[in-house]
């Protein structure tokens, strides 16, 4: 029975353990930053920055620089460009993100093309786009942990004004919060966190873990503090479960071709979200008078 769920060798396999460690760290940071991303309605920017970071990573690969610097640097430059074009105004935000994203994908196409024709790096494209948590070397773990701690410290430092300005911009500016500065600081944090997760787990998972667990948490929990905790638990849980399933899936097909980790993690994340939505609805129908939960995840345009 145990062998059926955990294929033999799962917990002694070094790369699996590294993957789980790195995955848990990245999932935690994404879950925390994601709460604010969802509250501020910046999912598109959060996703677009993965592609921008990917362009940076591809550029760094081409120039022979450290990929982590490329991913994080690309993300921060992209976040700055979005801010200059006008990410703070809700109306212009969509276009600003779109224009930067369009330019970044163009650059990514160029860099990937150059690096695949000028060097024999087969599989680079796939790796950059879809990431592969199993190829994370244990030597990157310290770097990832340090960058993650930095992100969490900045979030803790700007947490209160950020939360206030996310929930009510008018109230925040009446209280003397500098909206533009807080917004820009958050974009930089978002860019670092997304660049980090994009290089470690690929851009698909980066968005999935940034948006999925926080959106689920905000559906079932009323307070933001508790939401952060639930979001982290959901994110880490999805990552670990996804890695286990991906490891198992190697034995599912006669061809011994395991399905990618990203696939399983996304399936778990979406399942969590569906469960959270069902829970939210059943609570609403049971107690229509109290109107609990849902801070921001109600219907409405972005």
Q: Give the interface with other proteins as residue ranges (CB under 8 A).
A: 38, 41-44, 46-48, 51, 85, 91, 94-95, 97-110, 112-113, 116, 122-123, 125-126, 129-130, 204-205, 207-208, 210-212, 215, 253, 257-260, 262-263, 265-267, 269-270, 273, 277, 296-302
Q: Which is nearer to other proteins, 26 or 211 (CB)?
A: 211
Q: Which is nearer to other proteins, 135 or 138 (CB)?
A: 135
Q: Which long-range contacts (CB under 8 A, 24 or more apart) does 95-99 make?
A: 97/44, 97/45, 97/48, 98/44, 98/48
Least distance (Å) from other proteins to the CB of residue 7?
18
Q: Which is nearer to other proteins, 37 or 177 (CB)?
A: 37
- State the Cα–Cα distance between residues 160 and 33, nearest whole angstrom: 13
3-state secondary structure string across the chain? CHHHHCCCCCCCCHHHHHHHHHHHHHHHHHHHHHHHHHHCCCHHHHHHHHHHHHHHHHHHHHHCCCHHHHHHHHHHHHHHHHHHHCCCCHHHHHHHHHHHHHHHHHHHHHHHHHHHHHCCCCCHHHHHHHCCHHHCCCCHHHHHHHHHHHHHHHHHHHHHHHHHHHHCHHHHHHCCCCHHHHHHHHHHHHHHHHHHHHHHHHHHHHHHHHHHHHHHHHHHCCCHHHHHHHHHHHHHHHHHHHHHHHHHHCCCCCCCCCCCHHHHHHHHHHHHHHHHHHHHHHHHHHCCCCCCCCCCCCCCCC
Least distance (Å) from other proteins to the CB of residue 141?
24
Q: Which is nearer to other proteins, 27 or 47 (CB)?
A: 47
Q: Which is nearer to other proteins, 71 or 264 (CB)?
A: 264
- State the Cα–Cα distance between residues 247 and 261, nearest whole angstrom: 8
Q: Which is nearer to other proteins, 53 or 297 (CB)?
A: 297
Least distance (Å) from other proteins to the CB of residue 237?
17
Q: Which is nearer to other proteins, 76 or 211 (CB)?
A: 211
Least distance (Å) from other proteins to the CB of residue 227?
14
Least distance (Å) from other proteins to the CB of residue 249?
9
Q: Which is nearer to other proteins, 172 or 211 (CB)?
A: 211
Least distance (Å) from other proteins to the CB of residue 197?
12
Nearest to 95 by CA among 52, 51, 45: 45
Least distance (Å) from other proteins to the CB of residue 213?
11
Least distance (Å) from other proteins to the CB of residue 23?
15
């Amino acid at each position: 029975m145990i062998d059926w769920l955990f294929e033999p060798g799962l917990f002694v396999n070094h790369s699996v353990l590294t993957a789980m460690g790195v995955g848990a760290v990245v999932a935690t940071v994404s879950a925390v930053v994601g709460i604010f991303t969802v509250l501020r309605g910046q999912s598109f920017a959060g996703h677009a920055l993965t592609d921008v970071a990917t362009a940076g990573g591809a550029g760094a690969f081409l120039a022979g620089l450290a990929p982590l610097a490329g991913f994080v640097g690309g993300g921060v430059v992209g976040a700055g460009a979005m801010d200059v074009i006008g990410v703070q105004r809700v109306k212009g935000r969509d276009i600003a993100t779109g224009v930067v994203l369009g330019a970044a994908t163009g650059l990514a196409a160029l860099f990937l093309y150059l690096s695949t024709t000028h060097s024999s790096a087969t599989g680079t494209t796939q790796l950059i786009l879809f990431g592969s948590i199993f190829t994370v070397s244990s030597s990157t773990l310290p770097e990832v942990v340090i960058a993650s701690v930095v992100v969490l410290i900045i979030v803790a430092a700007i947490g209160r004004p950020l939360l206030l300005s996310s929930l009510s911009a008018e109230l925040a500016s009446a209280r003397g919060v500098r909206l533009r500065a807080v917004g820009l600081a958050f974009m930089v944090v978002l860019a670092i966190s997304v660049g980090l997760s994009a290089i470690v787990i690929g851009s698909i998972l980066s968005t999935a873990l940034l948006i999925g667990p926080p959106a689920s948490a905000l559906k079932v929990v009323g307070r933001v503090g508790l939401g952060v905790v639930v979001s982290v638990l959901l994110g880490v849980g999805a990552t670990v479960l996804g890695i286990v399933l991906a490891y198992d899936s190697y034995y599912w097909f006669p061809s011994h071709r395991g399905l990618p980790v990203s696939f399983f993690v996304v399936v778990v994340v979406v399942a969590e979200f569906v469960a959270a939505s069902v829970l939210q609805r059943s609570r609403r129908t049971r107690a229509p008078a109290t109107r609990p939960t849902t801070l921001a995840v109600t219907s409405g345009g972005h």
